[in-house]
Chain A
Amino acid sequence: MARGAALPITIRQVTKTYGRIHALDHVDLDIQSGEFLTLLGPSGSGKTTLLMVLAGFTRPDHGSLRFGEDEVIRRPPHKRDVGMVFQNYALFPHMDVAGNVGFPLRLRGVPRAEAERRIEAALDLVQLGGYGGRRVDQLSGGQRQRVALARAIVFEPRILLMDEPLSALDKQLRERMQIELRRLHDRLGMTTVYVTHDQREALTMSDRIAVIQGGGIMQLDTPRRIYEQPANRFVAEFIGESSFLPVERDGAGFRYGAHILRIAAPPPEADGHLLMVRPERLRLVAADEPGEDNHFPATVEDVVYQGDSVLVQAVLADGIRIAVRTAPTADAVPVEGAAVTLALSPADTVVIADR
């Protein structure tokens, strides 16, 4: 299959309303050639609507959509030449595996011998070589997923769309397929737009993530930046666990209660501010430990053993609850009711906008 044959996608001012609800609200997005971009958001956020606009199944009210240099917003789906993996796979039940994978080739008039070669190559690529004669209902969920993928790439589209393709698989298979899909993307190099509501999946697979809420893009960034420097409270809450402490501006910096925070990164210009604390970034330390870290005295309320870690619920002096994740080694686990000190390094001290 051709390598590097990818196209950039340019989305401008795309809007779709259903009655008075904005499913998409003046969306601008540039997807780079060969990029793996994930649209991440809760259900009803507009992420699927945006994917359907890209595929041509949803007609927006207005906006511009370009694949490379071509304006495609009015082009019908069957002329867009994009591959798509559907959430329920949508494998045709009246055709066998080879019939499904060969379907786009037959429509394009590919000669039989070449079609057979390309079907087998696509099946090999998804590790289903020799499965061409199987009936669709003889396949497991994971195998159907691979057939759907083979069918979506066999005609060498320059753009690949995926609509929550792993949501029907069990957890272990899902995690293996995440790595496999990503590896396949790196090998084929096509521009990939992936829709999911699973934040871990998005973090695992993506070059960049667009967090979508209320028909708009909340933040477009790399997985690390999305997790460590979320643009606002919604992004921080949607991705990973976090506690929020109200902070006030104090000159150039911020303070929490009487404590002046030591912050590595400059905080955003906004009215309301919150200190975002990821549970695994907090450490339990001795009260008099020296260093640059911000210290918060707290009382342990609850200790939950979770196998790979221990989740400690603590209460700060002003009554705010805060979660701490710590290693389950015996000497590090506090007991309920104990007074502890929580330490947060300046690099992990992230102040975000409260909206």
Chain B
Amino acid sequence: MSERPNEAGLRRDALLERLALFGLGSPALLLVLVAMVLPVGWLFWLSFLGDDGTFSLEHYQRMLAEPSYRRTFATTFQVSFLTTAICILLGYPLAYVLAQLPQRIANLCMIGVLLPFWTSLLVRTYAWLVLLQRQGLINQWGIELGLWSEPLTLVHNLNGTLIGMVHIMLPFLILPVYASMRAIDRDFIKAAANLGAGPVAAFWKVFLPLSLPGLFGGALIVFILCLGFYVTPAVLGGGRVIMVSNRIATDIELFFNWGAASALGVVLLALTLLLLWGASRIVRLDRVLGAGH
């Protein structure tokens, strides 16, 4: 009675299907291997080679010993943190307004938000340089309107770096926040009102908690992208804002020290992965609490 007709054929079909899927994925896998894993692995290897070409931890030891390296990492995290915080303060209210608008108008406004995306990062950074310098448009207008009398130092320092980075990073925050706000069923807000919550209470107790997954995701993307920033601090920081990427560039361009540069890259990568790991734990916790749906 226990016949098993076509068993071998059906099993073969299942195997072929799996192979076909693997075949589709293999070019991308190969690219990641050649362009990502191998170079990163090579740099990882270099970071453990001393100046005499033998195995050594000297690059890591130097990083711990020299205060200038610690300052570089502190600056990197400070700039990233401030940029993220300013992006949240500017981006969340803007996303909120967009999410309240009718879909068609919101889409039009979204083009405005995304416009910087389609302009070269270098162009935007140099444009800020023109606007912010001592004789720039903003200082000219500020003085002519009598808002301040002496030209403000808006660039070649932390201010300029933050202005430029916030401008570049803002869409990365607004997009996920806007998406999570759009996904909030309006009936939740109606239910909150019906149960006695005024507009302010409904926002703090219902809307904000439901938009947190998007805010968290957006802030994480912004922070991690900031960690690796190079062009903007280089141009708008005027040598006063030295982030890890700038330090790496100096190590290679000035000192041809690939080992030191690689060690910096490895530490930055490790810190980023640590951050992602920590974040993933919080997000999972979030889902347990029921907000991350």
Contact = CB atoms under 8 A, between A and B. Distances in A.
Chain A bound to chain B: yes
Interface of A: 55-57, 76-78, 80-84, 86-88, 90, 92-96, 103-104, 107-108, 135-137, 151, 155
A90 B184 CA distance: 11
B195 A137 contact: no
Contacts of B196: 78, 81, 104, 107-108, 155
- Size band of the B side of the interface? 20 to 34
B290 A78 contact: no
A89 to B, nearest CB: 8
26 contacts: A55-B194, A56-B193, A76-B198, A77-B190, A78-B195, A78-B198, A82-B194, A84-B191, A86-B187, A88-B185, A90-B191, A92-B191, A92-B210, A93-B291, A94-B210, A103-B192, A103-B195, A103-B197, A104-B195, A107-B195, A107-B196, A135-B290, A137-B293, A151-B195, A155-B195, A155-B196
Contacts, number: 72
A90 B291 contact: no
Interface string B193-235: 1111110011001100110000000000000000000000000
Nearest to A96: B290
A81 B190 CA distance: 13
A77 B194 contact: yes
Contacts of B289: 94
In order of increasing CB-CB distance, the 5 nearest A-B pairs are A90-B191, A104-B195, A90-B187, A94-B291, A77-B193
Nearest to A55: B194
B277 interface: no
B201 A90 contact: no
Contacts of B148: none
A77 B190 CA distance: 8
The A contact surface, by secondary structure, is loop
Contacts of B291: 93-94
DSSP class of B's interface residues: helix, strand, loop or mixed?
Answer: helix
B21 to A, nearest CB: 31
A250 to B, nearest CB: 55
Contacts of A94: 206, 209-210, 289-291
B188 interface: yes
A30 to B, nearest CB: 23
A136 B293 CA distance: 11
Given A95-B290, A96-B290, A135-B290, A90 B197 contact: no
A103 B202 CA distance: 11
Contacts of A82: 194
Contact of A86 (B190, B205, B209): B190
A343 B36 CA distance: 86
Contacts of B190: 55, 57, 77, 86, 90
Interface string B110-133: 000000000000000000000000
Interface of B: 185, 187-188, 190-198, 201-202, 205-206, 209-210, 289-291, 293
Nearest to B190: A57
A93 B201 contact: no
Contact of B193 (A78, A88, A137): A78
Given A81-B196, A103-B195, A92 B206 contact: yes
Contact of A90 (B188, B205, B290): B188
B212 to A, nearest CB: 8
Contact of A92 (B188, B193, B201): B188
Given A77-B194, A86-B187, A94-B291, 17 more contacts: A56-B194, A57-B190, A76-B193, A76-B198, A77-B190, A78-B193, A78-B195, A78-B197, A78-B198, A78-B202, A86-B190, A86-B191, A90-B191, A92-B206, A94-B210, A94-B289, A103-B197
Contacts of A81: 196
Task: Select the residue from B190, B191, B209 with max chain A CB neighbours within 10 A.
Answer: B191
Which of A78, A96, A104: most chain B Cβ within 10 A?
A: A78
Contacts of B209: 94
A48 to B, nearest CB: 12
Nearest to A106: B205
A82 B198 CA distance: 14
A194 B193 CA distance: 19
Contacts of A151: 195
B185 A78 contact: no
B163 to A, nearest CB: 35
